[in-house]
């Protein structure tokens, strides 16, 4: 417990230092809004993920454009995906008001969605999504609409699938699995890594930063998802993500029986 506490403390201080450094770098470099910002923040996400001690392994081919949908487990997800390659992200609107992170994500062209906003918010969101698809990078969103404990993949909410169909965008899928390996006492992925339910952010991330052997595996599926309308498209995408996630969970370890097309070494 003492070792884990000091590991948490050290990584917390390093994380804050990196966020401050990124903010200063943003002010100095002033990368262009959108794709330029996403490319810039990609480098910082690699540094942050490395500082957090997370091993990231990627299977499949990294997408170059279009839409990508994934399951959603934690506040770590955006960091992890952004560390693999530049993405235009879709995130909940609350993030825009977070200290440091709000400014950084905004510069990367993040599309902010007001969860629970209902039909009045759809036109503005669809316009923002249409603009995001024109920035030359893949657009990543999490259609479950919430984070989970990793037991499975929830049904996908269909709202953002309008923008995919309306703009003739090719959609692909990705699945993310988190695991821990090492001496971590009674820590479990569902509670100490996944962030869901009524868990408070501060205490949770402090505990998470103290974990030994935190690992993430991301599997990209290059086959486009098809569907004549948003109902069919969302169901087909959810089934694809659920299948990929189940395959990752069944492996149990990173190197078992998976053909690794590309392993991304996340380092500063």
Domain around 37: 2-251
Per-residue pLDDT tens over the stretch 163-184 = 999 999 999 999 999 999 988 8
Look at residue 233 and tell me whether its pLDDT is greater than 90: yes
Look at residue 255 and tell me whether its pLDDT is greater than 60: no
Residue 260 lies in a domain: no
Residue 263 lies in a domain: no
Q: How many domains does the chain have?
A: 1
CATH number for the domain that contains residue 223: 3.40.1130
22/64 Cα distance (integer angstroms):
25
Q: Are 167 and 218 contacting, i.e. CB atoms less than 8 angstroms apart?
A: no
Q: What is the mean pLDDT of residues 214-232?
A: 97
Residue 267 lies in a domain: no
Residue 257 lies in a domain: no
Look at residue 254 and tell me whether its pLDDT is greater than 80: no
Give, to the nearest 10 degrees, the angle between helix 201-209 and helix 2-29.
110
Look at residue 27 and tell me whether its pLDDT is greater than 50: yes
pLDDT value of position 211:
96
Residue 175 lies in a domain: yes
Write down the pTM of the prediction. Answer: 0.90
Look at residue 266 and tell me whether its pLDDT is greater than 90: no
């Amino acid at each position: 417990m003492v070792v884990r506490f000091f590991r948490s403390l050290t990584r917390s201080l390093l994380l804050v230092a990196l966020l401050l450094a990124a903010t200063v770098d943003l002010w100095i470099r002033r990368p262009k809004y959108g794709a330029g910002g996403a490319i810039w923040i990609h480098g910082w996400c690699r540094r942050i993920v490395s500082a957090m001690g997370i091993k990231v392994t990627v299977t499949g081919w990294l997408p170059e454009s279009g839409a990508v949908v994934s399951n959603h487990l934690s506040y770590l997800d955006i960091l992890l995906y952004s560390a693999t390659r530049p993405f235009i992200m879709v995130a909940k609107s609350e993030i825009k008001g977070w200290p440091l992170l709000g400014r950084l994500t905004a510069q990367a062209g993040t599309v902010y969605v007001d969860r629970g906003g209902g039909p009045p918010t759809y036109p503005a969101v669809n316009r923002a999504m249409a603009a995001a698809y024109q920035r030359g990078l893949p657009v990543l969103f999490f259609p479950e609409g919430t984070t989970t404990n990793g037991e499975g993949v929830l049904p996908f909410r269909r709202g953002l699938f309008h923008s995919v169909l309306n703009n003739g965008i090719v959609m692909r899928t990705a699945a993310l699995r988190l695991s821990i390996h090492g001496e971590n006492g009674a820590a479990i992925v569902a509670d100490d890594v996944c962030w869901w339910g009524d868990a408070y952010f501060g205490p949770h991330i402090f505990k998470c930063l103290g974990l030994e052997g935190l690992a993430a595996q991301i599997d990209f599926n290059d086959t486009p998802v098809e569907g004549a309308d948003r109902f069919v498209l969302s169901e087909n995408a959810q089934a694809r993500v659920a299948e990929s996630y189940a395959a990752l969970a069944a492996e149990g370890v990173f190197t078992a029986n998976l053909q690794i097309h590309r392993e991304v070494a996340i380092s500063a």
